[in-house]
Amino acid sequence: MATGLSAWERKRAELARRVEKVVATTPVLDIHTHLYDPAFKELLRWGIDDLLTYHYLVAEAFCHLDAPYDKFWALPKTRQAQLIWDALFVRHSPVSEACRGVLTTLKLLGLEVKRRDLPALRRWFAQQNPEKHLTRCLGLARVEKVCMTNSPFDDPERTVWERGFRRDERFVAALRIDPLLLDWPNTATRLSGWGYRVGVRLSASTIGEVRRFLADWTKRIRAKYLMVSLPPAFAFPDGNGCAELIERAVLPHCREFDLPFAVMLGVKRAVNRQLGLAGDGVGRSDLGALQNLCAGFPENKFLATVLARENQHELCVLARKFRNLHIFGCWWFTNVPTVAEEMTRMRLELVGLSLTAQQSDARVLEQLLYKWTHFREILARALSDKYADLLRAGEIERDVKDLFGGAFERFCGT
């Protein structure tokens, strides 16, 4: 302990250390990821080439690359990874959050990062046993369970569900329904092909069949909640098929199965189509739509996260007004230290502890390591300032458990 500190400063430092320890060691329920149960084989992505071709890094690399987009996409994954590595880690300092994330991850796995030796990194990953590596990554990230994002509209994924498999209890399912709500005419054709008697017009019998489809998939995957991501223009109520399907099919289904409906608001899909998955952007949402959902359907539970920084304050105020609304995570472009810290502090001040502070959105297994390590640092700072303001009246262990999944479980009623 440094000398010359006042008694107050010493107590403050000791409090910060306690909070850091609890935050660093409390296990997490990661309520939104794009990871898969290992039964899905190659759909569960892992390893250095997948880490480097993460769409966050693809977008950043293209700021330096001259290659035409289609030439890049035609390359094998290892070659794409090499180009991204050279552009972002060798020719420039890796200062962005996504780049920093790769370095944190490699360091936590005990790998040498200073030498920038990509072949050596590839050799190390090639030697890993996938099962053991999965357990090790979950352990290092202190993640107890992860929610997947499960889409019946994704052909490779659907095939595995239909075949059936023995579930890994660490992976929880969430039913993703974007094509149902955002592209009904094409989805109607697919549902018909799968034996649901639906038409493009949303007649009572079509709605009944949509509900049968939702019920089948909810049971098949044992969904913990239903989810959709929506564009900034989303309005509710509205005269379009999306709003109608939500009101007449999704919400009654959620009530019947007592499941929350998660809305992720503010994504502008394909702002730059040529970037593929990396080409999505952000826009401000009208949170009046969320307010109308929460007020109009008090028997439904809503989970919500919003992408625009400008919407965060309003979302906190809504969470104070509606006990059927649970807010979660610093999503995607908000998961950078400046914004995540601001949001987290604001949420603690406006909402308190009845929320889920973070979700990783990991698409590649090892990303759990950096996403949770970086966020735990932020949360520890925000909480220890709060406890200091409270003259240390907080119950640290209980509070962190709530923020890392306990409040979510209570909200879901499980």
DSSP-derived 3-state class of residue 102: helix
Radius of gyration (C-alpha) of the chain in whole angstroms:
22
Closer residue to Zn ion (CB): 28 or 118: 28
CA torsion, ordered 130, 136, 142, 146, to nearest 10 deg? 10
Closer residue to Zn ion (CB): 300 or 359: 359
Instruction: In whole angstroms, give the CA distance from residue 64 to residue 66.
Output: 7
Q: Would you count residue 363 as binding ligand FIX (CB under 6 A)?
A: yes
Among Zn ion, ligand FIX, none, what does residue 363 contact (CB within 5–8 Å per kind)? ligand FIX
Residues within the interface to Zn ion (CB under 5 A): 361
Least distance to ligand FIX, CB of residue 149, Å:
6
Task: Let me know: does 44 contact 137? Beta carbons within 8 Å.
Answer: no
Least distance to ligand FIX, CB of residue 228, Å:
9
Instruction: In whole angstroms, give the CA distance from residue 236 to residue 302.
Output: 14
Q: Would you count residue 30 as binding ligand FIX (CB under 6 A)?
A: no
Among ligand FIX, Zn ion, none, what does residue 305 contact (CB within 5–8 Å per kind)? none
DSSP state of 329: -
Closer residue to ligand FIX (CB): 114 or 273: 273
Q: Would you count residue 97 as binding ligand FIX (CB under 6 A)?
A: no
Beta strands in 148-238 (DSSP E): 171-176, 223-230
Q: From residue 235, how far is each of 80, 143, 335 by CA, in Å?
A: 39, 35, 25
Least distance to ligand FIX, CB of residue 391, Å:
38
* CA angle centred on 242, ends 330 and 320, rounded to 5°: 40
Instruction: In whole angstroms, give the CA distance from residue 122 to residue 106.
Output: 11
123 burial via Cβ count (<10 Å: 0-12, 13-18, 19+) = exposed
Residues 311-350 that bind ligand FIX (CB under 6 A): 332
Q: Would you count residue 277 as binding ligand FIX (CB under 6 A)?
A: yes
Closer residue to ligand FIX (CB): 56 or 72: 56
Least distance to ligand FIX, CB of residue 126, Å:
26
Closer residue to ligand FIX (CB): 361 or 366: 361
Q: Would you count residue 142 as binding ligand FIX (CB under 6 A)?
A: no
Among 37, 314, 361, 402, binds ligand FIX (CB under 6 A): 361
Q: Would you count residue 120 as binding ligand FIX (CB under 6 A)?
A: no
Q: Would you count residue 271 as binding ligand FIX (CB under 6 A)?
A: no
What is the tally of helices (H) and strands (E) in the chain?
A: 20, 9
Instruction: In whole angstroms, give the CA distance from residue 220 to residue 214.
Output: 10
Instruction: In whole angstroms, give the CA distance from residue 332 to residue 342.
Output: 15
Among Zn ion, ligand FIX, none, what does residue 264 contact (CB within 5–8 Å per kind)? ligand FIX
Residues 223-252 that bind ligand FIX (CB under 6 A): 229
Residues that bind ligand FIX (CB under 6 A): 34, 149, 229, 264, 267, 277, 332, 361, 363
